[in-house]
A and B are shown apart, each in its own frame.
Chain A
Amino acid sequence: MGTIWFWLVAIMITIYVLLDGFDLGAGAIHLLVARTDKERRQVLASIGPVWDGNEVWLIAAGGTLYFAFPALYASAFSGFYLPLMIVVWLLILRGASIEFRNHIKSAVWDPLWDFLFCASSLLLAVFFGAALGNVVRGVPLDASGYFFEPLWTNFRLGDQTGILDWYTILVGVLALLVLMMHGGLWVQMKTSGEVSRRAGRVAGRAWWGVVALTAIVTALTFRIQPQVKENFTTWPLGFVFPVLAVAGIAGVIFELRKHDERKAFFASCAYLAGMLTSVIFGLYPMVLPARNPVYSLTVATAKAGEYGLRIGLAWWITGIILAAGYFTYVYRSFAGKVVVDKDSHGYGD
């Protein structure tokens, strides 16, 4: 039962990254691809009706993690106290920027929110990447099952690590590049004209960085977290995940060159999904590795009571089928490229 929930939470996190990833990415390249007010409204309109629904996956994944692995939720959230609070502030700032911007037209109002939207999206991408880096590297858990990491210590991978060290910063930069590519492909697909062209170019450039850093970070990860190597040698079937990632990243450049905007975006989804599942597969059965492996939290030590997990499965499956239904319907309703000539939201009133 614990293993089932491990993978269900993994799937939810992956879906969250695929969905919110493109609107975070769109935010990170906002100022880069859109210069005039009309162009900026195109970018915002491309994520307007869906971004908060995407963010709900974070809340739903968080809630599911909470009830399935309460000890993990408690330990990880209190240990990552400061970065998570900063993430919360950035999410607030970003949500407010998107919502407030279109209410007033003024030479000081719009650029302010455009800047904050871009900056908060960019920082969120880096922080999420660094958070993933922390989990992979392991945290200074002790026998109590708790830890606390300051934002940084000496930037080295010693016993008293901080949130930011050279490895996690590297993962953060990789995350930013990946989401810039992902968001760029989304904006390219959903907009037209100059914005679409620029977004495609940004994605194409980010692609090179993604390839280079993916190779470097992967090599480092095998050295830093021995469990990964162990899992791939024990269950060779797990190689489907990295293969998916490689196929995805190759697909991105292939489809970009062919100017197939939809397929390029979906290839990027495949890359992201492949990367995340590779990492999650590599960590199993750990849910939060410790610097000292004895204290690592595992599926068995962190999971909730059996009855709760079983009953949860019943409502979770129902709920997710419903949610998949809504999302399909919403994305279909807003299919096609956005037009901003009608009103501030791009969807005629």
Chain B
Amino acid sequence: MGQAVDVHRLQFALTITFHYIFPQLTMGLALLLVYLKTKALRTGDEHYNRAARFWARIFGINFALGVVTGIPMEFQFGTNWAAFSKAAGGVIGQTLAMEGVFSFFLESSFLGLFLFGEKRLGRIGHWVAAFLVFLGSWLSGYFIVTTDAWMQHPTGYRIGSNGAIELSSFLDLLLNKWALWQYAHTMLGAVQTGCFVMAGVGAFYLLTKRHDSYGHTFVRAGVLVGVVAAILQLVPTGDMQGKLVAYNQQPTLAAMEGLFESQEGAPLAILGQPDVEKRKLDNPLEVPNMLSFLTYRQWRANIKGLADFPQTEWPDQIPLLYYSYHVMVGLGTIFIAVMVLAALLHWRGRLYDSRWMLWMLMMCVPLPYIANTAGWMTAELGRQPWLIYGLMRTASGISPRVAAGNAWFTLIGFMGMYTVLGILWLFLIYREIELGPEPSGHLQKDDAAVLAAD
């Protein structure tokens, strides 16, 4: 600790983790908002429009925070990772610039219209605005995932005459198979966050006996969309992601699983603590042969352990990587159980009266945030010690002239600022939930007072 590269890594990790709290909700909610607006359009029931307006307010707060915490991400490519940017900017700059040009313009323009222009746009126009916000945010996700996927599994490039990495095939960059699966997996994670938050708020209303009809709508929407997302998260997307890692990043797979020695019929570790010095997993609780089966669909297939690779190829934070991966998979499994159970109860018509289930849905709200964060940590810690897998080491990507002391200064600044922002965010979201979806609950009272005073 204390070397410049560590501080740069910590700062990027901190800022991206905090940033991703917001887009994972807005991308998920964008889909659910389209669902609510479609319902409103088809049934002509104002109830759904009010429900959509309530979620649009929550969307707005999260979107604004997503925008302002997103700007440091683009900046840091240049400020903290200059050597990386100089070498690879010609490739990943493509997708990052495309994100700005194709999705941010779309998203921000129509979000303004969606939030401020319902009357002007009319019913169909407002639906279109909601749809375009959804499209913009999901496109944005694609460009970002493509950028990361290129760092995980570089395609469509060549080394130019001056040593810089140049783009050689635009389509190979955009249609990288790693990107396609990672995108599906990431977006399902975002949908799950949206679903658990919506269902959780609905459950909160039902448990506290307020806004019953909205509670029903929110729980139903969250559970019905959520059950599909939870299952697809595991099969096929999670499974395919695992296979891509197994085939292309072998030391990463071994580290994720805490597998130190190569084995035929390798077990799947459910619990256990990796001891990197002694090269073993303490207190293992394992399913025999399972890892071999999941990876190669053969019970006795050989899986390479970390010992088969030189230590310089090992990810440098093995325990953290191992735990991130296990937390992600563990929570993903819990989500499937909760959502399937809730969907069954809904099918039997007993969901809204099962208080224990509503309690469970409400308590689950923070979990998808943790799972998504753990998932990203698995991907990025798993990529180590590479910045661009196989091409550039993380340590050689930092800005050569930015001293560790300057990076500490900004890291500490971000910590302070984000703590305050996080507290304000929780406070404002809680307040919106307290005010509720009924129009009378919102600011109109105060506005009436202002008008009377004038």
Tell me, yes or no, whether A234 is within 8 Å of chain B by CB.
no
Query: How near does chain A come to B210, taking the closest CB pair, in angstroms?
Result: 20
> Which chain B residue has the least Cβ–Cβ distance from A343?
B447
> Which chain B residue has the least Cβ–Cβ distance from A303?
B90
Q: Is the CB of B64 within 8 A of A95?
A: yes
Partner of B97, one of A55, A56, A67, A79: A67
Tell me, yes or no, whether A122 is within 8 Å of chain B by CB.
no
Tell me, yes or no, whether B160 is within 8 Å of chain A by CB.
yes
Q: Is the CB of B105 within 8 A of A322?
A: yes
Q: Is the CB of B116 within 8 A of A66?
A: no
Partner of B166, one of A63, A308, A319, A322: A308
B interface footprint on A34-62 (CB within 8 Å = 1, 0 otherwise): 00011000000000111011011011111
> Which chain A residue has the least Cβ–Cβ distance from B171?
A311
| Cα separation A133 to B400 with both chains bound (whole Å) | 24
A residues near B454, Cβ cutoff 8 Å: 38
Query: How near does chain A come to B269, taking the closest CB pair, in angstroms?
Result: 41
Q: Is the CB of B93 within 8 A of A73?
A: yes
| Cα separation A307 to B262 with both chains bound (whole Å) | 44
Q: Is the CB of A326 within 8 A of B105?
A: yes
Q: How large is the interface on B (under 10, 10 to 19, 20 to 34, 35 or more residues)?
A: 35 or more
Tell me, yes or no, whether A232 is within 8 Å of chain B by CB.
no
Q: Is the CB of B89 within 8 A of A349?
A: no
A37-B450, A52-B64, A305-B160 known; A67-B96 Cβ under 8 A: yes
A77-B78, A343-B444 known; A70-B93 Cβ under 8 A: yes
Q: Is the CB of B451 within 8 A of A312?
A: no
> Which chain A residue has the least Cβ–Cβ distance from B11?
A85
Q: Is the CB of B94 within 8 A of A89?
A: no
List CB contacts (< 8 Å) of B48-62 with chain A.
53, 60-61
Tell me, yes or no, whether B270 is within 8 Å of chain A by CB.
no
Tell me, yes or no, whether A347 is within 8 Å of chain B by CB.
yes
> Which chain A residue has the least Cβ–Cβ distance from B161?
A305
Q: Is the CB of B160 within 8 A of A66?
A: no
With most chain A CB atoms within 10 A of its CB, the pick from B91, B116, B413, B451 is: B116
Q: Is the CB of A96 within 8 A of B64?
A: yes
Tell me, yes or no, whether B424 is within 8 Å of chain A by CB.
yes
| Cα separation A259 to B434 with both chains bound (whole Å) | 47
With most chain B CB atoms within 10 A of its CB, the pick from A67, A104, A311, A319 is: A67
B interface footprint on A320-345 (CB within 8 Å = 1, 0 otherwise): 10110011011001100000011111
Q: Is the CB of B85 within 8 A of A70?
A: yes
With most chain B CB atoms within 10 A of its CB, the pick from A70, A85, A341 is: A70
**Other contacts beyond A71-B89, A343-B443, A349-B53: 10, CB < 8 A:** A38-B450, A49-B117, A53-B112, A64-B100, A64-B101, A66-B96, A79-B401, A93-B417, A343-B447, A344-B447
A-B contact pairs, 25 of them (CB 8 A): A53-B105, A55-B71, A59-B100, A60-B104, A61-B100, A62-B74, A67-B90, A67-B96, A73-B77, A76-B78, A81-B80, A84-B78, A88-B72, A96-B68, A99-B61, A100-B424, A144-B400, A304-B89, A311-B167, A315-B102, A316-B101, A319-B101, A343-B443, A344-B447, A347-B116
User: B residues near A, CB below 8 A?
Assistant: 53, 60-61, 64-65, 67-72, 74-75, 77-80, 82-83, 85-94, 96-102, 104-106, 108-113, 115-121, 160, 164, 166-168, 170, 399-403, 406, 409-410, 413, 417, 421, 424, 428, 431-432, 443-444, 446-447, 450-451, 454
